[in-house]
Amino acid sequence: MPRERITFIASDAPDAQAALARLRKRYGEAGDNADVIVGLGGDGLMLSCLHRIMSGDFVDNPLPIYGMNQGTLGFLMNPYAEDDLLLRLSVAESSSLHPLRMKARGQDGRIHDALAINEVSLFRETHQAAKLRIFVDGRMRLESLTCDGILLATPAGSTAYNLSAHGPILPLDAGVLALTPISAFRPRRWRGALLQHEAVVRLEVLEPGKRPVSAVADNSEVRNVAEVEIAEDREVTLKLLFDPGGALGERILTEQFAP
């Protein structure tokens, strides 16, 4: 598809806002008639933009996003340059992402639905450790995990919080998800699992009154959950654009060999 009509978005950072003004003056602003979104900021801006697309904030047909780094972190972004933007967009390589869908049932029985691009995480809310029971595709796999929490990460999110929690880096097209404990106490030797991307994970909170747990899908938090079900939503496809040789799959592979 053509990538000549651009709508620009930017973080609130002064440098990003200044770049936004210059690029709009130079390339114009297509608004709802755009073929592509150019985001100016860091990874936080990119995740925010992806969530806006999933909520239908821009147009009915989700647009590809080309990010240029004007923030602190830029794993999902391209280098910033104002020249030859139309040429860069025309030759950019596309990477497709599918988010995780979280369905969290609160202790009050209410169901909360949210999407996550990086990971869905469960965390203890107090000084008491969380106790969780783990089901995969309806089969109990771990009767009781005592921990600070647990997360299910996508390949795109495997280099983020999952890596900090000592989870594995996942190649983009590997077709797997990472289930990673956070500060597991019992069983001491359990370090997590790799699951097929079609897997449905259900996490049951044990002793929720004594050991309250919150669930977080990227930046959407639900407190005092009783049970959380997580599965990849293949009906939602997000497209990120990268300069040739710098696509997301290559970046994730490179990260595995970082010193």
Query: Would the annotation count 118 as a binding residue?
Result: yes
Beta bridge partners of 8: 38
Residues 200 and 165: beta-carbon distance below 8 Å: no
Query: Would the annotation count 161 as a binding residue?
Result: yes
SS3 183: coil
Q: Active site includes 60?
A: no
Q: Which of 12, 43, 108, 137 is catalytic?
A: 43
Query: Would the annotation count 162 as a binding residue?
Result: yes
Quote the longest CA-to-CA distance of the chain.
60
Give Cβ neighbours of residue 196 (< 8 Å, ≥ 6 apart): 175, 176, 177
Query: Would the annotation count 193 as a binding residue?
Result: no
Query: Would the annotation count 43 as a binding residue?
Result: yes
Query: Would the annotation count 156 as a binding residue?
Result: yes
Query: Would the annotation count 113 as a binding residue?
Result: no
Residues 103 and 201: beta-carbon distance below 8 Å: no
Query: Would the annotation count 159 as a binding residue?
Result: yes
Query: Would the annotation count 163 as a binding residue?
Result: yes
SS3 209: coil
SS3 73: coil
Closest CA to 93 of 64, 54, 63, 52: 64
Structure tokens belonging to residue 92 = 């950019």
Structure tokens belonging to residue 87 = 């040429």
From the annotation, which residues make up the binding site?
43-44, 118-119, 148, 156, 159-164
Residues designated as active site: 43
From the annotation, which residues make up the binding site for NAD(+)?
43-44, 118-119, 148, 156, 159-164
